[in-house]
Chain A
């Protein structure tokens, strides 16, 4: 049944996108289109876009494994949106540009910079898109048991087909609707969990959460290991194995599995008895309940430097949000800068309760689904809550709602990202029209799907982390400096983009290929934002200061961005109208 919910959400997306909303009137009672859309929809749309598989699936997974330190991610995002409101939303709307490369080109009179900015957009969006596709693969697999690649390919193709057929034309409405599904997908289980907990305080065994013990299985459970994984079995345990373990094929036999490092083959099913300590992926250190609940300490995250890691995550996500192209483009729908900022405020107000509820799923996962710690499927933590807590119809219902939310999350964000990528390629690099856009959509989808098939072993949020680092180190400085510092020049911007973008991309690639995985080198490369962002800003400022090239019409451009719109009352109440001329 949950898969039906997913299908429903998908269908709704497609229909809304292509049909748009039609308003048919006879001449006798007309209808002013400009008043037809309530500004709240803009906020819903941005939320729908912003709430992705990253927050829905990825963050609970992180919290499940690593504990409280991962809350910095959510904090970082929230601060990022706040900073958008302070620094970016209104000025960039007033400037009038739709894409970031357009802004850079218009602000600096630098047509050569446009393809470079477009490339940055593509790279940052690409990693983010990979995360969504991974989410899709995981969700579809969890719901109907198909292999991982089915979800990736199906969703990728679907999104691409939808876009190239002209869907997502009514993007504001489509994403607005998706927001509701996403929000419900988190709210309903949250309510359910709260009700259960309030009714019966002992319903959850909080051993895993606070004591000095490692998580254990509350009841007998059969765990499916979807991909080959090396785990750390804490104690020798009597289990039933159906599949490959340590090279030996077992056929539903009861076996005493020894403590230590074991390799479990893909497709194996192992039944663990109640009370057994849950195995853990070998690549990550296990945490006792107490360790898990406490921040910092001796943990192995960030290559053993949790303080650096926490701060780095905070900064990366903060600045990253300020540079993510698919979010910045959504501001265009607002008529004025003031409304753009106001929309942003509403987005913040809607995101906050959502972000406040999301961690619960990581927490509850530690109690009800510790098996995920060992089978590499942490990203499905949110999904399994329904079936672990309830039975029968209740379980199906909750899982359906959650699945619908997850589907809405990755569909909306994937669509937005693919639009941003294809748009950057066709509009800002090739400077061509609709047919090229379609081509770019399929090209982008093909590359992303291929890569998506390969990223199964990466956590969703690792991919997001790379994306935000790159956006933070290249796009964010361009925007902030371009909007607020008159002294930015073409060369300065190019330098900042190349160095910031290059450094963060290189860092991401080295961690992706596992070149280093311990200690300070790992910490510094896995979360490069702490040094790449200041580097980019410094480069941009430094090069600009020594560059004598000045931007033409600078006063006009700055005024365009920063002078507030005037109010002019019309016959039906005040409306805000811009009276700036487009530099014609």
Chain B
């Protein structure tokens, strides 16, 4: 809402602050017809002028003041100004408006020195236009536009990061599985075929974007598929013990929360260890919560490397774990992350806690 106040009513500083706030609020959605109209209104009040028009890089998108059929003229002037490439001063034009001869000042709106629009101002009769005021205003609007753009870029970046985290199939695993399957194609084609089917099932599950949440039972199926695929490579080098409480099966959790942990256990725990190893996966019912534990008796994880990985500065080998932690915390809250207990050659145990019911 734009409050009408006379130029003398408030001190210039306060007025400016109020204006800046209104401007940035208007621009939050970006530079479009609605925000342009708002800015036009604000400008008209602020500079106390007769007409204001705003264009983007080609068309009139907003105006304020008695409506006038000057769209064509505005766009012509806009083109002229934008082509000039000198944006430090407004340009003056003469034009005939409803039979009158008037002056219009046009200033460019830029973001990062790239022109994105223009602002046209027709002063009221008897009140000559201060060109400096106009230029300052144009600069202000430009800076706000720039901020809005930056804000949008930040949002895009976050979303892209989230998407990248989501499609977390480890290339390592991809490569190994396909190699293993390839090795079986001739010696055991039946098994190779069934493994390919499982592999595609696994891929399909990991690409899912329909919902962000899956159930513990589905996730465990995924883990089962994954373990079958790994088993091709490892043979009997590890043994798996399952202890799944049926009360936990329908609990919802972000998908690919357990599989990366299991993968981590195998790769960093058991693979590195000489001789056969044990893997224990348990889903435990704890009243209004459940916990899922993945334990291996392998070589343990180096504490420093882990810390770096959790801070996001480490090597990529532990990135999957970081993703799980981030996803869990962002879904359920900061107290529901991943807990890791490990020691040198003492194995590793990773625990995640999940609430049975999530409200908002």
Binding site for B on A (CB under 8 A): 20-28, 30-34, 36-37, 41-42, 96-99, 102, 105-106, 166, 169-173, 332-336, 419, 422-423, 427, 433-434, 437, 571, 578-579, 581-584
Contact = CB atoms under 8 A, between A and B. Distances in A.
B357 A172 contact: no
Given A23-B243, A25-B240, A434 B283 contact: no
How many of chain B's residues touch chain A, expressed as a range? 35 or more
Given A169-B284, A581-B212, A32 B220 contact: yes
Given A24-B239, A99-B288, A581-B212, 15 more contacts: A21-B243, A22-B242, A23-B241, A26-B240, A27-B227, A27-B230, A31-B242, A37-B246, A106-B357, A170-B285, A333-B250, A334-B250, A335-B250, A571-B201, A581-B213
A332 B224 contact: no
A437 B288 CA distance: 10
A333 B213 contact: no
Contacts of A28: 231, 236
A261 B115 CA distance: 107
B247 A97 contact: no
A28 B228 CA distance: 8
Contact of B243 (A22, A26, A584): A22
B236 to A, nearest CB: 7
Interface string B324-336: 0000000100000
Interface in B38-52: none
A263 B210 CA distance: 75
Contacts of B206: none
A41 B249 CA distance: 14
Interface in B205-220: 210-213, 215, 217-218, 220
A95 to B, nearest CB: 8
A493 B341 CA distance: 45
A427 B287 contact: yes
A20 B15 CA distance: 71
A22 B284 CA distance: 12
B245 interface: yes
B238 interface: yes
A42 B246 CA distance: 9
A26 B288 contact: no
Contacts of A26: 236, 239-240
Which of A31, A98, A583 has its CB near the most chain B CB atoms (within 10 A)?
A: A98
A555 to B, nearest CB: 16
Contacts of B283: 33
Interface string B56-88: 000000000000000000000000000000000
A170 B287 CA distance: 11
B203 interface: no
Contacts of B9: none
A25 B227 CA distance: 12
A92 B138 CA distance: 58
Which of B213, B228, B240 has its CB near the most chain A CB atoms (within 10 A)?
A: B240
B217 A34 contact: yes
Given A30-B227, A99-B288, A169-B286, A24 B241 contact: yes
B358 interface: yes
A33 B220 contact: yes
B180 interface: no
Interface in B227-267: 227-228, 230-231, 234, 236, 238-247, 249-250, 252
A169 B246 CA distance: 10
B221 interface: yes
B287 A27 contact: no
B3 interface: no
Contacts of B221: 32, 34
B311 interface: no
8 contacts: A23-B241, A25-B239, A96-B252, A96-B357, A172-B245, A172-B246, A582-B358, A584-B331
Interface of B: 201, 210-213, 215, 217-218, 220-221, 224, 227-228, 230-231, 234, 236, 238-247, 249-250, 252, 283-289, 331, 356-360
Contacts of A336: 250
A102 B288 contact: yes
Majority SS at the chain A contact face: loop
Contact of B288 (A27, A427, A582, A584): A427
Contacts of B359: 102, 105-106, 583
Contact of B358 (A34, A171, A423, A583): A583
A426 B259 CA distance: 31
B316 to A, nearest CB: 27
Nearest to B355: A98
A557 to B, nearest CB: 11
B103 to A, nearest CB: 53
Nearest to B232: A27
Contacts of B212: 581, 584
A14 to B, nearest CB: 16
A111 to B, nearest CB: 9
A419 B244 contact: no
Contact of B224 (A32, A42, A166): A32
Nearest to B197: A571
Contacts of A581: 211-213
Which of A24, A170, A171, A584 has its CB near the most chain B CB atoms (within 10 A)?
A: A584
B247 A333 contact: yes
Contact of B247 (A27, A332, A423): A332
A86 to B, nearest CB: 22
A581 B360 CA distance: 11
Contacts of B250: 332-336
A435 to B, nearest CB: 12
Contacts of B357: 96-99, 102, 106
Contacts of A97: 356-357
A139 B263 CA distance: 53
B236 A27 contact: yes
| 3 closest Cβ pairs, A-B complex | A34-B217, A33-B244, A98-B356
Contact of A171 (B210, B224, B285): B285
Contacts of A169: 245, 284-286
Contact of B244 (A36, A96, A102): A36
Contacts of A24: 239, 241-242
Contacts of B284: 20, 169
A23 B242 contact: yes
Contact of A332 (B243, B331, B356): B356
B355 to A, nearest CB: 8
A96 B284 CA distance: 18
Contacts of A25: 239-242
A34 B248 CA distance: 10
Nearest to A27: B231
A29 to B, nearest CB: 10
Contact of A33 (B213, B217, B227, B286): B217
Contacts of B247: 171-172, 332-333
A96 B331 CA distance: 16
B145 to A, nearest CB: 33
B246 A333 contact: yes
A36 to B, nearest CB: 7
Which of A31, A32, A336 has its CB near the most chain B CB atoms (within 10 A)?
A: A32
Contacts of A578: 215
Given A25-B241, A36-B244, A30 B358 contact: no
A166 B287 CA distance: 10
A419 B245 contact: no
A112 to B, nearest CB: 13
A583 B359 CA distance: 7
Contacts of A105: 359
Contacts of B211: 579, 581
